[in-house]
């Protein structure tokens, strides 16, 4: 499976290198792109006898002229509307010349009920908010509820960021070329794209690889090879021991969800480290999860080194205050180097002195994963949260600054590694918008880390499994149900190896 996600700049570099290597020239690529869109229109809208094709001034418009001509030859009634003319000598100008339909100005476009609309106004070259005639065309189309098939991207969606520049078509279907772009996966653009089809237009995999893309779709093929394998001679400690830090007596539920999820994700043993005051309440709720009194960093460190703890969950239910941040700095500075997942209130606590934490995390030699939602992210990285870049960009910058894998949660979760790799999750579901689901996610990550999975892959795999678990349960799920759904998800992954 081709998992690379290409920025518009990387995509145009792929086009350039493909053309340079031959035999396809730019017009050859454009013909293939137009053919892919036209055949999708014919196969997916077999009843469409009339099609409005809207063309912009660049190569996206060029694709549109190719589509219009193919549909005309297929016996379909095509009305062609153009915004501006392609520059002389360009591939788009050639496509326009080769199209036998005379275009009318876009200002004359009014959608007719029942017509399919092919949006070829702007694609990868969108570089400012849409306005004027294009904006009106988008609004008319939405009012008429005409089905839209977008070429490459719905006009108005930034391929780089997924942001809407001005306004954008809401497509039923988008046909893009070679690989997905961030705008197909990141919100809100993802919603405007509808179903996305990736068409092969003759760009070799070797060319894509030569451009060195570092962003990927988060699918099992990205991390399947690094999943823990359970050897015959496995015993509970070789499957890894997780320690999860409990909050006080009135804040213990969150970490129990993490602990259960870590166990379900395959950790051989999970111990809850509980302050004395919360020991009884935790004891009353635990069965397979072990319990240990722990009132200080020193006691925690003794336990971690004695029991060969490989991964820690630190955050759910803890107080968002300086002692929490201080304990984490103590754990990271002690030289034990277990994998650490920092979540929830611990992230808020670290925001009291971000620089102090970044100094410690830069020196830390173990795997480190931060799992903020947007609110926690804005507390720890206020300048990054305020900048205009994409969610992908923000997560990447944060990962570099924190010297940690950053999993930035949301319906379009992004996972970024300090080495520059990133993945965008696509299987998120609104079912996960329920209290405690984040605690389960941090537990799954820790469970995988304890079994030796590398941090970036463990975070990617956990985000994917978490969503699959929710999907397998369906509406009505609560976070408590998620750990119990993991065996089914793991079983399917195991079957796919």
Ligand X SMILES: NC(=O)C1=CN([C@@H]2O[C@H](COP(=O)(O)OP(=O)(O)OC[C@H]3O[C@@H](n4cnc5c(N)ncnc54)[C@H](O)[C@@H]3O)[C@@H](O)[C@H]2O)[C@@H](O)CC1
62 annotated ligand binder: yes
Task: Kindly state the number of chain residues that form the binding site for K ion, as judged by CB under 5 A.
Answer: 5
Contact flag: residue 88 with ligand X (CB under 6 A): no
**Bridge partners (DSSP) listed for residue 5:** 180
Task: Kindly state the number of chain residues that form the binding site for ligand X, as judged by CB under 6 A.
Answer: 27
Contact flag: residue 151 with ligand X (CB under 6 A): yes
Q: Which is nearer to K ion, 151 or 404 (CB)?
A: 151
Least CB distance to ligand X at residue 90 (A): 8
Q: Which member of 41, 76, 82, 124 binds ligand X (CB under 6 A)?
A: 124
Output the CA torsion 446→447→452→454 (10° steps): -50
Q: Which member of 4, 10, 13, 15 binds ligand X (CB under 6 A)?
A: 15
Contact flag: residue 413 with K ion (CB under 5 A): no
161: partner contacted, choices K ion, ligand X, none (Cβ within 5-8 A by kind): none
Q: Which member of 59, 141, 155, 324 binds K ion (CB under 5 A)?
A: 155
Least CB distance to K ion at residue 183 (A): 11
Least CB distance to ligand X at residue 29 (A): 4
Closest to 245 measured CA to CA, from 270, 268, 264: 270
61 annotated ligand binder: yes
Contact flag: residue 152 with ligand X (CB under 6 A): yes
CA distance 361 to 358: 5
Contact flag: residue 380 with ligand X (CB under 6 A): no
425 annotated ligand binder: no
Residue 230 backbone phi and psi in degrees, to 5: -95, 100
From the list 44-52, 123-131, 190-198, 428-436, the region that binds ligand X by CB under 6 A is 123-131
353 dihedral zone (left: phi>0; alpha: psi -120 to 50; beta)? beta
Q: Are 416 and 398 in contact (CB under 8 A)?
A: yes
Contact flag: residue 63 with ligand X (CB under 6 A): yes
Positive or negative, the CA dihedral 64, 69, 75, 78 is: positive
119: partner contacted, choices K ion, ligand X, none (Cβ within 5-8 A by kind): K ion
Q: CB within 8 A of 447, min separation 6: which ones?
A: 240, 242, 261, 262, 263, 264, 265, 266, 267, 270, 311
Give the start-end residues of each E strand in 324-400.
Answer: 339-343, 368-371
Q: Which is nearer to ligand X, 142 or 493 (CB)?
A: 142
Determine the angle formed by the axes of helices 26-44 and 8-21, rounding to 10 degrees. Answer: 120
Contact flag: residue 56 with ligand X (CB under 6 A): yes
From the list 92-100, 120-128, 212-220, 296-304, the region that binds K ion by CB under 5 A is 120-128
Least CB distance to ligand X at residue 54 (A): 12
Q: Which member of 77, 98, 108, 127 binds ligand X (CB under 6 A)?
A: 127
Closest to 459 measured CA to CA, from 494, 419, 424: 424
Contact flag: residue 345 with ligand X (CB under 6 A): no
CA distance 380 to 72: 56
Q: Which is nearer to ligand X, 138 or 440 (CB)?
A: 138
Contact flag: residue 86 with ligand X (CB under 6 A): no
CA distance 109 to 136: 9
192 annotated ligand binder: no
Q: Are 41 and 67 in contact (CB under 8 A)?
A: yes
Q: Which is nearer to K ion, 198 or 385 (CB)?
A: 198
75 annotated ligand binder: no
411 annotated ligand binder: yes
Q: Which member of 4, 10, 91, 119 binds K ion (CB under 5 A)?
A: 119
Footprint of ligand X on 23-42 (CB under 6 A):
26, 29-30, 33
H helical segments located in 194-278: 205-211, 253-264
Contact flag: residue 123 with ligand X (CB under 6 A): yes
CA distance 178 to 201: 6
Q: What are 471's two structure tokens?
A: 């999907």
Binding mask 198-237 for ligand X (x = CB under 6 A): ---x------------------------------------
Residue 151 backbone phi and psi in degrees, to 5: -90, 115
Closest to 433 measured CA to CA, from 477, 488, 370: 477
Least CB distance to K ion at residue 415 (A): 29
Residue 180 backbone phi and psi in degrees, to 5: -65, 160
155: partner contacted, choices ligand X, K ion, none (Cβ within 5-8 A by kind): K ion
The number of residues making up the chain comes to 497
CB count within 10 Å of CB 356 equals: 13
Closest to 257 measured CA to CA, from 490, 489, 481: 481
Residues making contact with ligand X (CB under 6 A): 12, 15, 26, 29-30, 33, 56-63, 122-130, 151-152, 177, 201
Residues making contact with K ion (CB under 5 A): 119, 123, 150-151, 155
Binding-site residues for AMP, in ranges, read 409-413, 438
């Amino acid at each position: 499976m081709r998992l690379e996600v290409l920025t518009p700049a990387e995509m145009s570099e792929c086009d350039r290198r493909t053309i340079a290597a031959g035999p396809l020239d730019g017009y050859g690529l454009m013909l293939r792109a137009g053919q892919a869109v036209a055949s999708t229109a014919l196969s997916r809208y077999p009843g469409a006898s009339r099609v409005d094709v809207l063309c912009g001034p660049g190569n996206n418009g060029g694709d549109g002229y190719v589509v219009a001509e193919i549909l005309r030859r297929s016996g379909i009634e095509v009305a062609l509307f153009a915004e501006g003319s392609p520059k002389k000598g360009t591939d788009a100008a050639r496509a326009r010349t080769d199209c036998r339909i005379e275009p009318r100005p876009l200002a004359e476009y009014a959608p007719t009920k029942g017509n399919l609309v092919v949006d070829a106004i702007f694609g990868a070259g969108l570089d400012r908010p849409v306005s004027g005639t294009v904006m009106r065309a988008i609004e008319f189309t939405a009012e008429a509820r005409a089905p839209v098939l977008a070429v490459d991207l719905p006009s108005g969606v930034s391929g780089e960021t997924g942001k809407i520049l001005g306004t954008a078509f809401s497509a039923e279907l988008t046909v893009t070329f070679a690989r997905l772009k961030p705008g197909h996966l990141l919100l809100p653009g993802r919603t405007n794209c509808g179903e996305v089809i990736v068409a092969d237009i003759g760009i070799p995999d070797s060319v894509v690889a030569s451009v060195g893309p570092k962003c990927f779709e988060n699918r099992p093929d990205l991390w399947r090879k690094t999943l823990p394998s359970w050897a015959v001679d496995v015993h509970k400690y070789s499957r890894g021991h997780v320690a999860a830090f409990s909050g006080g007596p009135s804040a213990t539920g969150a970490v129990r969800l993490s602990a259960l999820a870590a166990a379900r994700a395959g950790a051989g043993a999970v111990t809850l480290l509980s302050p004395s005051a919360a020991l009884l309440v935790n004891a009353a709720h635990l069965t397979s999860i072990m319990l240990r009194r722990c009132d200080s960093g020193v006691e925690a460190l003794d336990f971690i080194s004695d029991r060969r703890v490989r991964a820690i969950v630190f955050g759910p239910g803890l107080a968002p205050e300086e002692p929490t941040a201080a304990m984490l700095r103590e754990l990271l500075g002690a030289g034990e180097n277990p994998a650490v997942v920092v979540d929830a209130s611990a992230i808020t606590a670290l925001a009291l002195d971000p620089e102090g934490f970044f100094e410690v995390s830069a020196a830390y030699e173990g795997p480190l994963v931060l799992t903020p939602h947007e609110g926690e992210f804005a507390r720890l990285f206020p300048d990054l949260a305020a900048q205009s870049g994409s969610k992908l960009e923000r997560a990447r910058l944060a990962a570099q600054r924190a010297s940690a894998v950053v999993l930035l949660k949301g319906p379009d979760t992004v996972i970024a590694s300090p080495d520059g790799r990133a993945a965008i999750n696509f299987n998120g579901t609104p079912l996960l918008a329920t209290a405690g689901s984040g605690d389960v996610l941090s537990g799954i990550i820790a469970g995988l880390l304890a079994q030796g999975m590398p941090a970036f892959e463990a975070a990617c795999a956990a985000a994917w499994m978490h969503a699959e678990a929710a999907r397998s349960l369906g509406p009505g799920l609560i976070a408590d149900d998620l750990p119990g759904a993991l065996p089914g998800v793991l079983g399917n992954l195991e079957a796919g190896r």
